């Protein structure tokens, strides 16, 4: 397959996006580690559980919503369970499946961590953009997600 090389404008846009993809996760992670003793991924998993009915999801559903492999998620859930932030249990509908439930302590943790996380997102991303640029970012995000996540695994909960 012959590469269709990027022109200067395309390359400049791509380099900026690649830099954002590299830098923003570290900005989010360092604030959460400092203020809430959570990694960004741990916070994300807790947040997904906090939005689920009965604050409970099957491991496979949580893995899909967080774009994690089951082994990675299992390791993280074990760490969170050791801190009494989540509980694992057999799924009543399917004995082969495992449910993960946010505990009251986990609910307190995600609720306490959210204001600092949102302030960090606002400071580093949202407030850097005009309202028009935010609309453009949403449109750009939808276009790219349509290619890299056509089933909407990571964004399905936004439209539910």
Q: What is the pLDDT of residues 67-82, one digit of tens each?
A: 999 999 999 999 999 9
pLDDT at 52 over 50: yes
Q: Identify any residues that bridge with 58 across adjacent strands, giving them in sequence order.
A: 99
* Beta-sheet pairing, 86-90 with 56-58: unpaired
The per-residue pLDDT for 153 is: 78
Smallest CA-to-CA distance from 80 within 49, 53, 34, 116 is with: 49
Contacts of residue 6, defined as CB under 8 A and 6 or more positions apart, other chains included, come to 14
C-alpha distances out from residue 17 to 20, 23, 144, 154, Å: 5, 10, 12, 19
E strands, the chain, are 56-58, 86-90, 98-102
The per-residue pLDDT for 93 is: 86
Q: Assess contact for 107 and 50: CB atoms under 8 A.
A: yes
Split at pLDDT 50, 70, 90, the class of 94 is: confident
Residue 61: enclosing H or E segment and its boundaries? helix 59-66
The per-residue pLDDT for 14 is: 97
Task: Give me 145's structure tokens.
Answer: 């997600």
CATH fold, domain 38-112, is Arc Repressor Mutant, subunit A (1.10.10)
Q: Could you report the per-residue pLDDT of 95-152, keeping only the tens digit for each? A: 889 999 999 999 999 999 999 999 999 999 999 999 999 999 999 999 999 999 888 8
Average pLDDT across the chain, whole number:
94
The per-residue pLDDT for 157 is: 57
């Amino acid at each position: 397959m012959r590469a269709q090389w990027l022109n200067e404008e395309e390359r400049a846009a791509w380099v900026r996006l690649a830099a954002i993809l590299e830098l923003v996760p570290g900005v989010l992670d360092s604030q959460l580690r400092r203020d809430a003793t959570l990694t960004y991924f741990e916070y994300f998993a807790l947040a997904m559980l906090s939005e689920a009915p009965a604050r409970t999801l099957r491991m496979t559903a949580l893995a899909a919503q967080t774009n994690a492999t089951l082994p990675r998620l299992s390791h993280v859930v074990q760490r969170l369970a050791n801190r009494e932030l989540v509980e694992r249990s057999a799924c009543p509908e399917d004995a082969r499946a495992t449910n993960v439930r946010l505990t009251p302590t986990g609910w307190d943790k995600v609720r306490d961590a959210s204001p600092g996380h949102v302030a960090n997102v606002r400071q580093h991303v949202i407030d850097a953009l005009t309202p028009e640029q935010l609309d453009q970012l949403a449109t750009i995000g939808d276009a790219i997600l349509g290619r890299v996540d056509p089933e909407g695994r990571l964004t399905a909960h936004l439209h539910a």
